Amino acid sequence: KLLLLLIIVNEILGSGFAAIPYAVDNVGPLVGFIILIVTAFFSEFNIRVIVELAYLTNTTSYKEIIKKTMGPIWAYIINTFHLLIPILITISLGLLITQNIYDASDYWCNLNIVY
């Protein structure tokens, strides 16, 4: 049960530590706060649905919940998405970091310092 809790916390927090400040910087603090609240609401709702389905189907694994509620083919589709999502997130964070490094190096290289 502790492992399930840690997995859920990891999914909720995930790469948000890197993405949220960047997003808020782009849209502004008010819109960023509203988006954050709406996202938190949907995350909470999804967690409640998953926990309720686990209780109703008498299972403890996410794959078994999907298998019992949507069929075995969807369990494989969900597993495929669980494989692809971390890969795609890693790629997008790599692009974000690369762009920030490029912007920082461009800034520092083009400084006109007169002594």
Taking alpha carbons only, the member of 68, 71, 91 closest to residue 15 is: 91
What per-residue confidence (pLDDT) applies to 39?
87
Reported in sequence order, the residue ranges of 5-112 that DSSP labels E, i.e. its strands, are: none
pLDDT tens, residue by residue, 2-26: 777 777 777 767 666 667 787 888 8
Q: What is the DSSP letter of 61?
A: S
Average pLDDT over residues 68-73: 91
Per-residue confidence band for 51, with pLDDT thresholds at 50, 70 and 90: very high
What per-residue confidence (pLDDT) applies to 53?
92
More confident residue, 9 or 89: 89
Q: Above 90 in pLDDT, residue 30? A: yes
Do residues 40 and 20 lie in contact, with contact meaning Cβ atoms separated by under 8 Å?
Answer: no
